[in-house]
Structure 1
């Protein structure tokens, strides 16, 4: 038994005194944890520090970054700031209060650091010296500051506040303030995990004598979001280099129109005149009529005779010389998994150019190079997220290789690029990349946040395995072997089913769906990049749309059958696990596995596709993936061929819904769901559990009243892992 001093989340910050009255008198930070043996455990996962955002000083000499620590005992997290030299030397903890401190940035002169500080619902902008002293509050707003960005000249600041909205839920009567009822008048009344009674707006405020207030609402009177819910942040708005203009992302729709559309645009606000212009749409643009009950794939909106940026357009950024604005752009409306391209607008000519067309996968994040003529960007190809470069001519070049993923956040640091990186076997750290012509990047690791864990915990070997599919193609699978793997023994095998349904099975690191902790419990894990995942071309990506139960299910079975050819894989002890679409996959395979599996685990999965269509909140999702409302004849997106499924004769996802095959269920199943999950309602998991029990099949239901599509609270996370492995061990280790 080793007592290891690490950056964890268990008890009290060793380098600071407890703050009275805050976090129950304790600060979550640098503590102790006892590791028993060299296997990864749930407790070790929750004890790891989690690196978040970072910023580079103007002189490229310093990097400030966030780390979050979790306390299982207190059931909460704490985010702190660190400062280090640009080469990774001299990492220093800057913040020692009990408040969460986040979103660090350097002032334009590089002499101070600004950040958000406070408890949830009461954050304000603060600043401090580079050594963490001279802390001073900067914003004095009447509302919580949820995000911010100072202008390059430091004279103004963009501030994010929530404002009330009544577009889908009526305002309460003034004399009934304690009423819990809601009068709902339109769709988009719920989103992700909350009822939509407020939305974020961006405000611009002057900075006078080092202080600022609420400012002016750039969307005053408009019932639209910026940043866009549920995941948008400060990457969705930016300043021009001369501090005059603000570019921002917004989907200017409400109610049903919002729920069926992914058409967000980039807007430019002139702080001198107060005027706003849409940089995506021509001034004479008029949206074609849209049938809200079917996919937009074949509708007029996606077949215009000019480029009107009708899909997702997000994350605008000015070039350093101010001549261009670039942003991430999807071509089609109603399709959130369309390939994300990098669009560049020439502000002088109005010409738009897509500079990543040579990269047949999506762009996850980007930053301008100093020359204002080229970019660095991240994107997934063949199950790895790598760094690439492109220029205004669209000449794309890969810059990195290896079995890991680079994060979407990129920042220049002199001639180098600062990024985060993780793998199936290691959580995020910060890296510096330097480049030479016609050579791959030279990579230097700057942080070692979880070095103690990585030195003392044995990770299983991860191998790439290409598997033949039933239609004569190949799929890339990751296979993770147990630590101390002995090929002369037989091991139970888990099939990991990815969600999305179009998110990659790359070199991801998760604090819940962690493949290494599954291997640490002596399971071999196979994780296939089945049909519908990015990084293998558009044809592969799009084969899943309208075909949930088709080739992608065969790809799953091909993967598990292939690994079972190995003598160390025990084909009599197979499990199948997954979340979201992966949870749908589990429910579907439960009725179509030909007795391959001995147990199933589904988290937040779709059990009834018809039910899902009526329950989910982002209606463009089932429209595109399922084709149309279930009341329509067939699921064809083309009204002139309503009796047909489509040109490829894919299987109707409503008539092949998992709930229709419960009569074939014969295998124990664990269902997990969060009651605050409004993407896939908990009624889906509860229905599946009831179906199994009524069929006389061993089943359990892990239900979280306070969690959404994810599990975010530490004690809930520990319970998740314990329940997960208890169920697997019960059926696969007899």
Structure 2
């Protein structure tokens, strides 16, 4: 494991990598589900304080989440606990004068906005709505707040929506009625409500009414299922909101035309700021002086993994340009520096999520920090605050100079727990893949590695397919868990992965079973030649979503490659998959149109057409609430193997979606997966 600046910062903070328990244990899922989780960090406007939440899980699995504050102006300051009320506080923001913080909590029985004075005293409930507040953002001067709540577009007030929700819960019939797509999304059937934005004054009085600035719109803002209030912002003068959303229409299930809209805070007609772009626009971010609006924009309609370009609009002249058009990375977040001209940007970058500095005037891009997975919490005149993760670090806050030097660890939320854990050594490698092009990956040694011994291989294939198994810490597919179980782990970012340039990402489109399979084959051969401790005769491949598709594809097209396979939520039949998934834009772009219009390509890369070659033992896992890849896909693969007499097992979760989120289910998942692998790799 290389000694990075972050690891050196950990050592200087008093937690050296050798400062462990006398007998640290290999990492297990029981450790994973009890890892403390840092969330909701917020930097004060002055940059002198930071507030964050920590969800702690005790030895019995009981959890609690509280807020902490740390004084950044004092070199050795200790964090102080701010809250101790049962429940979770989240989505923290500082008041304009930094004398108080706002957050969301469910203390009153529903999710509402609270204000906590930092000078002393109890938190005060600010909002009192009959519906849950799901997110919020403050205006720059702190006198207004925008909140999102789920309402029915036809309703004129919150009471109407409350009554409709109540009536839906109490009705005796159970049928759901629809007249257009989308009828369900991710893991939820539509109840015809939509997320709308409400603006209210912050004047010291409890908020019971607010202006629905998206009134009547049959659309979601923020967009579902994963967007948050990063898609919503006040203009610096506080007169308007800018938000991301699709225009109300019947084609929302097969287009990616998210636009940025500007609407007065008093309500009224919204203006489409990005009407000319028919692809995805996102993350509106204003400079503090109001001169510039920066945002992210794709250019390919229907494509969700296009490069996010950085756009800059001069609010005075109206002129707009792409910043750094030759920079071949896809930005994921934008933060203006205090000079109102520099942007601090994060983007996937060769297995990392890197922090970059972008000069908006000339387009110069500089790497600030490029080890591990990093998100920017805030920027001061002199410092950048980041949340950092890696393959051996679950997530902590760090500060660094604007040039990436002077890294200092600010939190140690898992100090005691990490001291009990022994992780596997890891390293990034590369090889010549499809077309002799360079492809990257990671290997991890078993945590109890001994020189001279050979170890079975856990060959992890990521989903997406435009994704990456990089240098980060996952609460689900955590590669270190296989290292803890005695496996050598291999992960390859095949053609189609993100963080290696847009051409590399684009190369998988309309070639799902081509270049990626060749990369996986060449990568496994290369890494076993490079690392002699890997036993190529005892291998098990596993993956979820597209990774699960690849398990089905391997069955028919690389049937002698592995001792066993694990298929989580994998696509089995591309024809039926097209008609039952919810985001139709995805298969339509990846396979060049609807199934009806491009059957040949769908069938060319359809695993069901190669079942005569299937023979490898496979464990199939699926969640019944998975509407992205519905569980019939997994059931079909299992049925086929049972009928053909191929050793196979099925694990179904009635309450899980595309992911396994319940800690007890996660423990069961790993017990089944590792047990299956141990059996077929003859691991003793």
| SS in structure 2 at match of 1:332 | coil
**What is residue 325 of structure 1 aligned with on the other side?**
293
2:311 to 310, 319, 343: 343
Q: Distance in 2 between matches of 1:584 and 1:344?
A: 39
Judge which range, 455-464 or 416-425, deviates more.
455-464
Q: Distance in 2 between matches of 1:62 and 1:321?
A: 22
Q: Over aligned residue pairs, what C-alpha RMSD do you find?
A: 2.3
Q: Distance in 1 between matches of 2:361 and 2:380?
A: 24
Residues 650-693 of structure 1, C-alpha deviations (whole Å, 9 max, x = no match): xx242331122222111110111111111110111111111111
| SS in structure 1 at match of 2:665 | helix
**What is residue 424 of structure 1 aligned with on the other side?**
391
Judge which range, 410-419 or 568-577, deviates more.
410-419
Residues 165-196 of structure 1, C-alpha deviations (whole Å, 9 max, x = no match): 589xxx99979822110122111010011012
**What is residue 562 of structure 2 aligned with on the other side?**
597
- CA shift, 1:334, in A, is 0.3
2:674 to 725, 729, 732: 725
- Maintained 8 Å contact 2:359/2:365: no
TM-score when scaled to structure 2?
0.91
- Maintained 8 Å contact 1:388/1:396: no
- CA shift, 1:145, in A, is 0.8
- CA shift, 1:629, in A, is 2.2
Q: Distance in 2 between matches of 1:72 and 1:532?
A: 41
- Maintained 8 Å contact 2:154/2:216: no
**What is residue 186 of structure 1 aligned with on the other side?**
180
Structure 1 37/731 Cα, relative in aligned 2: closer, same or farther at 3 Å? farther
**What is residue 130 of structure 2 aligned with on the other side?**
142
Structure 1 518/214 Cα, relative in aligned 2: closer, same or farther at 3 Å? farther
- CA shift, 1:320, in A, is 0.9
**What is residue 704 of structure 1 aligned with on the other side?**
653
The runs of 5 or more residues in structure 1 that have no matched partner are: 1-33, 282-307, 636-651
1:128 to 116, 134, 153: 116
Q: Distance in 1 between matches of 2:63 and 2:652?
A: 22
Q: Does 1:244 align with 2:239?
A: yes
**What is residue 5 of structure 1 aligned with on the other side?**
none
**What is residue 417 of structure 2 aligned with on the other side?**
453
- CA shift, 1:72, in A, is 8.7
| SS in structure 1 at match of 2:557 | coil
**What is residue 549 of structure 1 aligned with on the other side?**
513
**What is residue 18 of structure 1 aligned with on the other side?**
none
Q: Distance in 2 between matches of 1:164 and 1:276?
A: 19
- Maintained 8 Å contact 1:138/1:211: yes
1:213 to 176, 197, 208: 208
Q: Distance in 1 between matches of 2:460 and 2:553?
A: 14
- Maintained 8 Å contact 1:358/1:396: no
Equivalenced residue count is: 650
Residues 83-108 of structure 1, C-alpha deviations (whole Å, 9 max, x = no match): 11225732122221122211111111
Structure 1 132/90 Cα, relative in aligned 2: closer, same or farther at 3 Å? farther
- CA shift, 1:594, in A, is 4.1
Q: Does 1:313 align with 2:281?
A: yes
Structure 1 58/166 Cα, relative in aligned 2: closer, same or farther at 3 Å? closer
- CA shift, 1:132, in A, is 6.6
Q: Does 1:366 align with 2:334?
A: yes
Q: Distance in 2 between matches of 1:57 and 1:214?
A: 28
Structure 1 172/717 Cα, relative in aligned 2: closer, same or farther at 3 Å? closer
**What is residue 390 of structure 1 aligned with on the other side?**
358
- CA shift, 1:487, in A, is 3.2
Judge which range, 453-462 or 371-380, deviates more.
453-462
**What is residue 51 of structure 1 aligned with on the other side?**
38
**What is residue 94 of structure 2 aligned with on the other side?**
106
Q: Distance in 2 between matches of 1:725 and 1:126?
A: 45
**What is residue 6 of structure 2 aligned with on the other side?**
none
The runs of 5 or more residues in structure 2 that have no matched partner are: 1-20, 156-163
2:140 to 152, 161, 166: 152
Judge which range, 120-129 or 366-375, deviates more.
120-129
| SS in structure 1 at match of 2:96 | coil
TM-score when scaled to structure 1?
0.85
| SS in structure 1 at match of 2:441 | strand
